[in-house]
Amino acid sequence: MKPINLNEKLAQFGSHWDPHVVADYNDNDVMVVKFQGEFPFHLHEDTDDFFLVLDGEMIMDLEEESHLVKTGELFVVPKGITHRPRAAHECKVLLIEPKGEPNTGDPATAAPKPRI
């Protein structure tokens, strides 16, 4: 049990679309991730998807609308909703998903989510 400094964790890796687990909250992974470019459209059938922008900004594309999400803003994608985050410039994000949930919605293409 100790405080977790998110900027220190973010400084430990440079890769994009590569969530790293920094803490556990019940059965969820609390992760930091850097977005740059475009992620594939996908959905999570059984869980909401929690994004909090820590630094920078991203676009959350949904099927029929897009939302700009800036530093200090959070966006929760409800379960079953197709979405795609994208960012023209690097954007640092706090991400929460249930443990074992593939970040792409598909185990075949999911990132490994290492713990740092």
In sequence order, what are the beta bridge partners of 60?
67, 85
Nearer to a second copy, 25 or 107 (CB): 25
Contact yes or no for 31/113 (Cβ under 8 A): yes
Task: Pull the structure tokens for residue 74.
Answer: 């959070």
Nearer to a second copy, 54 or 110 (CB): 54
Among 29, 94, 95, 113, binds a second copy (CB under 8 A): 94
- The reply on whether position 81 binds a second copy by CB under 8 A is yes
Task: Pull the structure tokens for residue 98.
Answer: 């249930």
Residue identified by tokens 């249930």 is 98
- The reply on whether position 87 binds a second copy by CB under 8 A is no
Q: How far is the CB of 81 from a second copy (least distance, A)?
A: 7
CA distance 25 to 45: 20
Contact yes or no for 103/19 (Cβ under 8 A): yes
**Residues contributing to the site for a second copy (CB under 8 A):** 1-7, 22-26, 30, 47-48, 50, 52, 54, 60, 62, 65, 67-70, 72-79, 81, 94, 96, 98
